[in-house]
Amino acid sequence: MIMEKNLNVQNIEKTDSLFAVITGASMGLGKCFALELSKRKINTILVSLPGEDIHRVAEECRKYGVESLYIETDLTQKENILSFTDWLNENFNVNILINNVGTGGTAVFHKTSLKYIENILHLNIITPSMITHQLLPNLMRQDSSYILNVSSIASFSPMGFKTVYPASKKFIQYFARGLHQELKNTSVFVSVVHPGPMITNEETRVRIGQYGIFGRLGLLTPEGVAAKSITELFKRNPYIVPGLFTKLQWIVMMLIPVKFKLPILARLLNKEIRLGFHRD
């Protein structure tokens, strides 16, 4: 490994190969995106925070006979984003960008910390916007390129006790759709995916389990979401809602007026806080 400012990167030589860049790739959906692309014989560059064993994910990807490199850096810091994207632009041809990194949680807004709010706003809004801006000239140089932005089914309604998260994911939805239109006559295709609840760790499994059969009915696996998202991306579908039950949730959330669904969602999320499933 070599150190470049606040950026830990592998010591590799410049290459003419094409690469897909995945942020938040050490676990959950990001890891599944990396493995799904590797199965399709696509080289990857994986990004995560330091100390998340991202090298192990890269090793798994290489088992499919592709190149897989990794970067460890904190993407809440502007200087790290600029170092990371400068390094990519100087050394690689990028034809796929997956803006997966993000964070959220359930909390009483006025009782939570400013750091909690700042992290959501930075990782869910500023970071994907900056990375896309900095890598777009690289993507546009390629014959055919793709950007996949990860939003959420939560972006279709405001939510008490998740006040910042759905608002940030609504930004991603609008950002992706606007950029899709703007780049329509270029080589870059832009899509957005709206996953529903996924079991990504034990805490998520227990939290969702409190809702009984209704909560488990629409559960998605990150592996399934990744496979469906990549398939639809390459089919040039600009708007992806994976899973039948998620599509039903989407329809219901679009049809029910906010004044009715807002108190229902607030009661459910407040229950999570009372049971201890919160992040602040």
pLDDT, residue 279, reads 56
Q: Which two tokens stand for residue 28?
A: 């959950």
User: How far is residue 145's CA from residue 133's CA, in Å, rounded to a whole number?
Assistant: 14
> Can you give the pTM of this predicted structure?
0.87
Select which of 165, 174, 211, 239 is catalytic: 165
pLDDT, residue 198, reads 77
Active site residue 64: no
pLDDT for 136-165, tens place per residue? Answer: 999 999 999 999 999 998 888 888 888 899
Under-70 pLDDT residues of the chain: 1-14, 199-218, 266, 272-280
Q: Which two tokens stand for residue 25?
A: 């790739």
Q: What is the DSSP string of 62-101?
A: HTTTS-EEEEE--TTSHHHHHHHHHHHHHH-EEEEEEE--
The distance in angstroms from the start CA to the end CA of the chain is: 33
pLDDT, residue 267, reads 78
Strands (E), the chain: 2-4, 7-9, 18-23, 44-48, 68-72, 93-99, 145-150, 188-193, 239-240
Is the Cα torsion angle 141, 240, 177, 84 positive or negative in sign? negative
Q: Which two tokens stand for residue 280?
A: 């602040």
pLDDT for 57-84, tens place per residue? Answer: 999 999 999 999 999 999 999 999 999 9
User: How far is residue 57's CA from residue 73's CA, in Å, rounded to a whole number?
Assistant: 16
pLDDT, residue 95, reads 98
**Cβ–Cβ under 8 Å, residues 77 and 7:** no
CATH fold, domain 2-274, is: Rossmann fold (3.40.50)
